[in-house]
Amino acid sequence: MMLLYNLLLNVTLLFHPFHVSVCTMHYAEQDQSIQITLKLFADDLEETLNNKTTTQSQQTYIDVLNPKDKAAITAIISTYIGQHLRVSVNGKPVETAFLGYEMEDFAMWCYLEITGIAQIDQMEVENTILTESFDDQTNIVQVDYKGDEKSMKLAIDNPSDVLTF
């Protein structure tokens, strides 16, 4: 199933009439952590950040595709993702650490981690990334916990879901 989602995302990258992100969460048992990879369109994120942060007092354009100050852009992206990707494990909210990002053509790969997770019985994910800018935004979340792979399709009318392991 993960292959199908990755194929869908790669085809979408060629034509880009769709608004989609893919968030993959992998439980690393040895590290007791959840390693997260988030792939989204950088131009969509740029549009969203500029729509969200442009105020009368701040007219600075946020250039994600060609940043002049990568540290400042990284902080903005980290804050945005932290506000729009929320995870609870076993009924308790957990904090995601933003590790960084890299660009691949017009796609952006963001890397995050959740530490201190000994076991997952239940995981709730709320993903509202880019939904404030695009009504058709689909956020696919794939979770791999000890070889048990499950997926969810989140959107503006269904921003969260719960998986049980």
Please report, in tens digits, the pLDDT of each residue of the chain (165 residues total): 555 445 444 544 455 568 999 999 999 999 999 999 999 999 999 999 988 654 444 567 888 888 889 999 999 999 999 999 999 999 999 999 999 999 998 899 999 999 999 999 999 999 999 999 999 999 999 999 999 999 999 999 999 999 999
- Residue 105 is predicted with a pLDDT of 86
- Residue 65 is predicted with a pLDDT of 85
Q: What's the half-sphere exposure (Cβ side, CA atoms, 13 Å) at 85?
A: 30
Q: What is the pTM of this model?
A: 0.84
Cα separation, 96 vs 71, in Å, equals 18
Among left, alpha and beta (phi > 0; psi -120 to 50; other), residue 73 is alpha
- Residue 62 is predicted with a pLDDT of 86
What is the sign, positive or negative, of the torsion defined by CA atoms of 113, 11, 126, 101?
Answer: positive
- Residue 42 is predicted with a pLDDT of 93
Give the DSSP H or E segment for 35: strand 33-41
Encode pLDDT of 86-129 as tens digits.
Answer: 999 999 999 999 999 999 988 999 999 999 999 999 999 999 99
